[in-house]
Structure 1
């Protein structure tokens, strides 16, 4: 008898976590992917256009934010200038007013520095990891063009975490105050512009150059991004993160993210925070993309594991 959907999702999610940890020999207390990162704090300020698209609180009000830049892989000390450290990650938490019963409220956006995602379901992602582990990666890539496109996508060496664009690959549905629904995809655009290094220049940098640079940058004036959404038109799929919408689709600027400080007790704070790819807020909801439930399951289980297992010292 097949498992109920949520049980099957959780089972596959746990398999993904264990497979990633095994591949990268990830120690207890660290994420199985994007293990190395830094947590910053700042402010989000929305545009008037954001309010016209969504009634969500943070698209109508300024709120404090917590953001995490990260390197790829589950290797906690992967050098910033290692080619396997890309794509980079950017997860942003919008800290909302407490609920009526006093509980903390928030909603998150999780993105990475590639427009591509290798597969459209969690089960296929597990199959990809298993193919990599068994030496059958070439066969898998040949059978799955989206995975080959992700692997082949250029992954530039950034001057800074603050000089890369970041993309939310899944689609969301915004609901306005008058009840109109709009399907969108997120993208963060750096105000400093996209700035990259050659492979030679990157290899000459310190292994922690990105983590050091971003701390200096926030002290010297901060790092900021514009949040844009690409607006879907009729027929644009919302259930497949591997399919790009045409670039000529309308984009709308939702606001500015300004990061101007480093979170205290950073390692401990990173261990405790669990970002959620599902918005769980009035005015923004997940679409029919099957990655949502799988990613939420993985993030939650990984977070529970981190909280139960302190960093190895």
Structure 2
């Protein structure tokens, strides 16, 4: 998967991520809500205040992709919560509610079909054949690809479910939902056409300098019996219960971002007690592929 992602991005690009290559980092803090302890005893959702670092990014391994490009969809957000004794836990989310495939094997087949279709002379092309056989992927491909006004005005979703446990031993399954305090905002078609290549990278530092902060609500959508918890292509009904976990506040751009990005990997399975993974095959494969890409960044 990593090899094919790099090839599709015209790489490998030395020292660069194989996906979500272009991005930037900010720092701030998270304040847990009173309701958070109802579903989990995880420390960062029970401490009054936890320091965080956040990386926003564009999809693809193209390091200079235009921020407004549909090929940079979905946007990514990775949050690292700093825990006591130099430990941490991460949340990794994207700006869409679903993943295009059910498992890593299908993902590799999808990437290979895209690659093999570049110069295909026959019909159906490999990607057309793949989409015909995978309606869940076709549904994903047909999603709207809006361009956010700012990384701070984008809404992010956890495509993988986790098991949350509270101090009484009660467990629920849920997916993260991260929403700008003032709601999402997107560029018009005209604004998108006129947007500079790095408009998102340029906008956030100005926003934090002028406004002093950018806020998000971190919540979790709770699954009900019968909801798919190991299939990231399935979107749960909108009427599922939402529990607010707290408020994320970004205060400044990270000063040593470049060195931190190179030396660190965000890992959705870096979990504290109170949160456990499901058997979602996409979730379980993510840290492995991330680690391969991370190793190549360190030793290009």
TM-score (norm 1): 0.90
1:95-244 → structure 2 map (5 Å cutoff): 95-98=82-85, 104-135=86-117, 136-220=126-210, 221-244=212-235
| 2:299 corresponds to 1:308 | yes
Aligned to 2:236, the other structure's residue is in SS state coil
Contact 1:35 1:71 in 2 (8 A): yes
Cα shift at 1:272: 1.6
Cα shift at 1:120: 1.1
Cα shift at 1:223: 1.1
Between 267-276 and 104-113, the greater mean CA deviation after superposition: 267-276
Q: 1:43 aligns with which of 15, 29, 54?
A: 29
The aligned residue for residue 65 of structure 1 is 52
1:20-35 → structure 2 map (5 Å cutoff): 20-26=5-11, 27-35=13-21
Cα shift at 1:188: 0.4
Name segments (4+ residues, structure 1) moved above 6 Å.
none
| Alpha-carbon distance between aligned partners in 2 of 1:151 and 1:233, rounded to the nearest angstrom | 27
Deviations 1:54-78 (A, max 9, x none): 0000010121001000011100111
Unpaired runs of 5+ residues, structure 1, are 1-15, 99-103
Cα shift at 1:286: 0.6
| 2:64 corresponds to 1:77 | yes
Count of aligned positions:
289
| Alpha-carbon distance between aligned partners in 1 of 2:240 and 2:180, rounded to the nearest angstrom | 20
Cα shift at 1:200: 2.3
| Alpha-carbon distance between aligned partners in 1 of 2:238 and 2:68, rounded to the nearest angstrom | 30
Contact 1:279 1:286 in 2 (8 A): no
| 2:53 corresponds to 1:53 | no
| 2:255 corresponds to 1:264 | yes
